[in-house]
């Protein structure tokens, strides 16, 4: 078995969450890598949708943004952004949304707007884009983020995308009929919301990672499920697929320096 990095473990664990039957709204970055690894391995019939309106896209390299021409070139078809959001997303036609974020709290709410007071922030982040609507309208949400105290915080300065709000049945009380975040995949472990409280709980730990590492890298008093499993390590096929698409992407975006 090949050695693998924590980021590779996170991406492959995220990819495994997807199936052939999924219609998946894909975020740029780590979510895009995971979704395309799934497409190239165990879920060749998955339908990948990007915010720019591309449906059934099969990129050979990972996009830098939703406006990357590779997405449109390899899509089954492309619709306008208003149609994408109104007909596809708000119409309930997308089973799974795959998101990332700058910060997350214990109820899987995401912040991609500001760190610090809104009017005088320490850091102004890129913003929500389509993520708030994706978080509200997809059947379920998967989130990929590296586990760190900077990212996993006790309290968000700003909630950009609704997770489980204040916990419990908060989504239901607000009239939301979708499941919200059902899994958070990190570089150290996998978390799922407690069925009753909706607080994120560790259900699987990656090989070589200790509980103490997870505790030290989380900004709140993190909880562990009664039965915690070890995440299956990446297979050679999974690793080769991820490394190949990353290599193609690097060559496409940075050029072949050796050839130069």
Establish if 1 belongs to a structural domain: no
pLDDT at 16 over 60: yes
Residue 258 domain flag: no
For residue 97, list its beta bridge partners. 25, 141
Mean pLDDT of 240-251: 94
Q: 133 catalytic, yes or no?
A: no
Q: Is the pTM of this model over 0.85?
A: yes
Length of the chain: 260
Phi-psi sector, 102: left (phi>0), alpha (psi -120 to 50), beta: alpha
Whether 258 has a pLDDT exceeding 80, the answer reads no
Amino acid 20: pLDDT: 96
What is the arithmetic mean of pLDDT over 83-96?
94
- Residue 198 is encoded by which pair of tokens? 């909706």
> Is residue 260 assigned to a domain?
no
* DSSP letter, residue 163: S
Q: pLDDT at residue 153 above 70? A: yes
CA distance 18 to 171: 23
CA triple 115-120-126, angle to 5 deg: 45
Tokens of 94: 């997308």
CATH at residue 150: 3.40.1080.10
Domain of residue 215: give its range.
Answer: 6-251
Q: What is the mean pLDDT of residues 16-24?
A: 96
Of these residues, 51, 70, 133, 238, which one is catalytic?
A: 51
* pLDDT at site 2: 65
Q: Could you give the CA distance from residue 45 to residue 9 in angstroms, rounded to a whole number?
A: 23
Averaged pLDDT for residues 122-138: 92
How many distinct structural domains can be found in the chain?
A: 1
Domain-embedded: residue 148: yes
259 in any annotated domain: no
pLDDT band at residue 259 using 50, 70 and 90 as cut-offs:
very low
Phi and psi for 73 in degrees, rounded to 5? -60, -35
C-alpha to C-alpha distance for 14 and 12, rounded to whole angstroms: 5
- End-to-end, the C-alpha distance of the chain in Å comes to 34
Structural domain contains residue 175: yes
- Domain-embedded: residue 220: yes
Domain assignment present for residue 224? The answer is yes
């Amino acid at each position: 078995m090949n050695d693998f990095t924590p980021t590779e473990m996170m991406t492959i664990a995220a990819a495994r969450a997807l199936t052939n039957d999924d219609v998946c709204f894909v975020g740029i970055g780590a979510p895009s890598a995971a979704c395309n690894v799934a497409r190239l391995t165990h879920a060749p019939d998955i339908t990948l949708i990007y915010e720019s309106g591309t449906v059934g896209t099969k990129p050979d390299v990972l996009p830098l943004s939703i406006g990357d021409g590779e997405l449109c070139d390899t899509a089954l078809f492309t619709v306008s952004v208003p149609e994408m959001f109104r007909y596809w997303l708000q119409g309930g036609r997308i089973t799974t949304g795959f998101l990332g974020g700058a910060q997350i709290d214990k109820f899987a709410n995401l912040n991609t707007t500001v760190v610090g007071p809104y009017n005088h922030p320490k850091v102004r982040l890129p913003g929500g884009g389509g993520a708030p609507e994706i978080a509200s309208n997809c059947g379920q949400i998967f989130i990929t983020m590296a586990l760190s105290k900077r990212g996993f915080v006790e309290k968000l300065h700003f909630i950009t995308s609704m997770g489980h709000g204040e916990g419990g049945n908060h989504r239901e009380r607000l009239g939301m009929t979708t499941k919200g975040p059902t899994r958070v995949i990190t570089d150290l472990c996998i978390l799922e919301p407690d069925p009753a409280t909706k607080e994120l709980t560790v259900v699987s730990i990656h090989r070589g990672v200790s509980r103490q590492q997870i505790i030290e890298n989380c900004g709140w008093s993190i909880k562990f499920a009664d039965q915690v499993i070890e995440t299956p390590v990446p297979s050679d096929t999974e690793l080769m697929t991820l490394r190949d698409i990353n290599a193609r992407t690097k060559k496409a975006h940075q050029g072949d320096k050796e050839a130069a």
